[in-house]
Amino acid sequence: MNVYADNAATTKMSKRAIEAMLPYLDQVYGNPSSLHSVGQRAAEALASARERVAGALGCTPREIYFTSGGSESDNQAILSAAAIGARKNKKHIISTAIEHHAVLHTLDKLKKNGFEITLLDAHENGIVRTDELKSAIRPDTCLVSVMYANNEIGSIQPIAEIGGICREKGVLFHTDAVQAIGHIKVDVVKDNIDMLSLSAHKFYGPKGVGVLYARRGVSITNLIEGGAQERGKRAGTENIPAIMGLAAALEDAVSRIDESSKKLTVLRDALINGIMQIPHTILNGDSVRRLPGNVNVCFEGIEGESLLLLLDSKGICASSGSACTSGSLDPSHVLLAIGRPHDVAHGSLRLSLSEENTMEEVEYIIKSVKDTVSYLRDMSPVWRDLQEGKKKYVIQ
């Protein structure tokens, strides 16, 4: 059986998204900036996509900037807020230790340029505490950036409360909502969000296209200079086919959220219950405030990479954490930040489901994970030491 369970890394495109793109690859190929009719047809498509995206997010079309994806949107949001802050000599930014590297590495860059960064603790359940945010805000704080939901452990942050606190204190609030959009309900107005990042390939759309939402009145700084596209804030000929795919995928995902999250929650909980039967296993992330398709566990005495390779040989695509850290030997910064020791963090497994997955596949995953974990433990000298009492279990 072949099971794709790595939807937090990327999703398979929906038929609707593919069909929405096709006319813009051959028939409507104009440049939206051209004045002739071929160009104007592309410009009309772009305008309609912007309206539909705004409709799905509950904002106005002028607040939508198309980008190349989540990473670019995160970079632009943070650097824009930093530029606004620097003009007022406010150079303090608050974020969390479990953000995506697109956020953390941008903050590292700002730190080298004289900004002070406070990373909030995400605690064992992967959720920040709003009282800790409140006390971290200073008169010179120019930005709070907290992700909506975590890409590795699925924990969902109290975004509406965080937005409320930031609005009250007059601090800009950005959220990396790449894992949330299309999967859980997001309301940029009610949640008091000033800037939001999303990426189409995380909700069955194409890769290489995303959106930066910036509330009216928030001044955005260019990362790319050139033409006047995106109201002068993001130069470069617009990727019309990808933008059309994004708009279709977004409308589809947002309109089906109740249905899809209900279905995914059932699959997710069956998967968690099955896998947690394996002795000395711990769930990462909050059991309730959690993305509907996310499962993340650590197994004592297991090397995550070996587990992944053996699962792949059984037809199961999974991940040990984020796709970004694979290839490096460092354990996930998210698992370390929620307090997992190094060797435990190395034994992690993330399974992220989509609506295409079935209960039959979930049962196959459970059986395969159980078999593979016992196979690996039987061969492991560390496991023998644990069983003989020469070493203490970290996971009870």
Q: Which residues of the chain form contacts with ligand PLP (CB under 6 A)?
A: 69-71, 74, 100, 102, 147, 151, 176, 178-179, 199, 202, 210
Looking at the DSSP assignment, which residues form a beta bridge with residue 156?
149
User: Of 69 and 301, which CB lies nearer to ligand PLP in the complex structure?
Assistant: 69
Give the number of other Cβ atoms within 10 Å of residue 114's Cβ.
Answer: 8
H-helix or E-strand spanning residue 152 = none
Could you tell me the smallest distance in angstroms from the CB atom of residue 383 to ligand PLP? Answer: 33
| Structure-block tokens of residue 217 | 């009145």
Supply the minimum distance, in Å, between the C-beta of residue 188 and ligand PLP.
17
Report which residue type is found at 229.
Q
For residue 298, indicate whether it is catalytic: no
Q: Treating both helix axes as pointing N-terminal to C-terminal, what angle do 70-87 and 101-112 enclose, rounded to 10 degrees?
A: 30
147/308 with CB nearer ligand PLP = 147
Closest distance between ligand PLP and the C-beta of residue 146, in Å?
Answer: 11
Nearer to ligand PLP (CB atom), residue 152 or residue 194: 152
For 40, 62, 339, the CA distances from 231, given in Å and listed in that order, are: 17, 9, 44
Residues 6+ apart with CB under 8 A from 343: 382, 394
Toward ligand PLP, which CB reaches closer, 74 or 194? 74
Written as six digits, the tokens of 20 are: 């929405």
Toward ligand PLP, which CB reaches closer, 52 or 202? 202
What is the token pair recorded at 326? 């694979």
Min separation Cβ 254 and ligand PLP, Å: 17
**Number of residues that make up the chain:** 396
Residues near 286 by Cβ (< 8 Å), separated by ≥ 6?
125, 126, 127, 154, 155, 156
Shortest reach from residue 165's CB to ligand PLP, in Å = 22
Q: How far is the CB of 294 from ligand PLP (least distance, A)?
A: 11
How far is Cα 342 from Cα 336, in angstroms, rounded to an integer?
7
* Tokens 């190349």 found at: 68
Measured over all CA atoms, what is the biggest interatomic distance in the chain, rounded to whole angstroms? 78
Distance of alpha carbon 159 from alpha carbon 173, whole angstroms: 10
Q: Which residue is nearest to ligand PLP (CB)?
A: 70
Decide: helix, strand or coil at residue 22: coil
**157 or 229, CB closer to ligand PLP?**
157
Structure tokens at 24: 């813009």
Annotated catalytic residues are 324
